[in-house]
Each structure stands twice: as C-alpha cells, then as structure tokens.
Chain A
C-alpha cells in the first residue's frame, strides 16, 4: 500500500526552464510534507517543507504547493540549473508537528537538467 506516490520516475528539463515534480498521497492524517534531494552515493538532504495548514511555501528558486483536497503536492524549481540534477523524494509525516523523523517516502523522481 503505497501511501505516497511519485508517478513520474524521471523528468528532463532544459536549463533555465521550470521543473515541476509531482507527488500524491492517500493518507489524510499526513500533516507535514517534505522534499528531499539525493545525489548518487550520498544520503538525502532536506530541501523544503510545507505544513498542511498552508498551500504554498517558497524558498529561493524552490516552491512547494499543497492541494489538500486533491491530496497532491508539487515542487517547482525555477530557473532550473544543471546542479539541480538529482533524485527528488517526496515524504510525508503525521507527527502532529512534533516528530519529523517517521516519514513515508515516495519512490523518487530523477531530475535531469540539460545545459
């Protein structure tokens, strides 16, 4: 039972354009969502997060949008840069704002940004 799904295994984007990574979830108890970025041979690094009480969070080139009614979130990267090429994981927590260590992850999306 995959509670967090990233249906696109890969995404290819031209440098300077927008990258949009999508994530769907089924568990309505999730109240906090995170995006992690992972380079080969390294662990995931935290990128950006959003609480379920918000619908948008922005940090520089990265913006996460949350649509609770659709149980869908997306990560926008603009402008995309070659250094953004990595695997992006969507993760969710039902920690109630107190525990972000117990996460449910999606399968990941491989983003490739071409120069």
Chain B
C-alpha cells in the first residue's frame, strides 16, 4: 500500500533554532499533502495543505511565516518551523495519498521539543 515516510522522528533543539521536517511519498506521487499538529491531550489539528508547485494553504490561526511549507516535487513536502520556541513543541505529522478521494496515509510523525 501507499507509504509516507517522515523524518526526523524526534528533534530536540534550543530556542531560536529553525527545524525542517521532511515528508516523502515512497510509492506514489502526491500533488497535495497535509500537515497536522497535536499538542498533549488534544486532537490532531490540520495546519496546512501543501500544494506541489504552488503556495501552501494555511488554516486559520496558523502563521505562514513561522511554518514554512515547500512542496517542490511530487514526492517531497517539507515543513520548516522557523525560530522555534518552547510553545512550538508538539507532535507534527504529515499525510498524503495517490488519490484525493480516498483516505490518506500518515507518516509516523515528528516529536519536536524546544528547550
């Protein structure tokens, strides 16, 4: 079945650092991928829709200048948390699929801890 690979799985870094998270589709091409975030004891919340070759679409309340999304190829979307602060510590996870009208497949997520 469709596989989504996410890297890294765990990041610990100092406040002010920018962190890049990669999301790759291994056996399909994805014109669209999705980025979610989950804070402790809360649901997965959609942050943005990543569109290959064009700008990402951000959900209300998500700062596009802080969470930079790049989808330069049909198999790779990246999320960069710029100048990360402790309040950005969260679980970030991406999803994608070969067909938009079918359930998407999730990566294994990235646990980000900002000290």
Residues of A within 8 A of B (CB): 2, 4, 34, 36, 41-46, 49, 89, 95, 97-108
Which residue in A36, A41, A102, A106 is a CB contact (below 8 Å) of B46? A102
Check A42–B108 contact: CB distance below 8 A: yes
Q: Which residue of A lies closest to B10 (CB)?
A: A41
Known: A49-B103, A95-B101, A103-B34. 7 other contacts (CB 8 A): A42-B108, A99-B101, A101-B34, A101-B100, A103-B44, A105-B45, A107-B42
Which residue in A43, A99, A106, A107 is a CB contact (below 8 Å) of B100? A99
Check B107–A43 contact: CB distance below 8 A: yes
A47 to B104, CA, bound (A): 11
21 residue pairs bridging A and B, Cβ less than 8 Å apart: A41-B9, A41-B108, A42-B108, A43-B4, A43-B6, A43-B93, A43-B109, A45-B105, A45-B106, A46-B103, A46-B104, A100-B101, A100-B103, A101-B32, A101-B95, A101-B96, A101-B97, A102-B34, A105-B43, A105-B45, A107-B42
Contact with A along B84-115 (1 / 0, CB 8 A): 00000000010111001111111111000000
Check B44–A89 contact: CB distance below 8 A: yes
Interface contact tally, CB-CB below 8 A: 66
Q: Is the interface of A mostly helix, strand, loop or mixed?
A: loop
A101 to B97, CA, bound (A): 8
Check B106–A44 contact: CB distance below 8 A: yes
A43-B101 contact, Cβ under 8 Å, with A101-B49, A102-B34: no
Which residue in B46, B49, B101 is a CB contact (below 8 Å) of A97? B101
Which chain A positions have C-beta within 8 A of B33? 101
Q: How far is the CB of B70 from chain A (nearest CB, A)?
A: 18
Check A100–B107 contact: CB distance below 8 A: no
A101 to B23, CA, bound (A): 15
Which chain B positions have C-beta within 8 A of A108? 43
Q: Which residue of A lies closest to B4 (CB)?
A: A43
Q: How far is the CB of B5 from chain A (nearest CB, A)?
A: 10
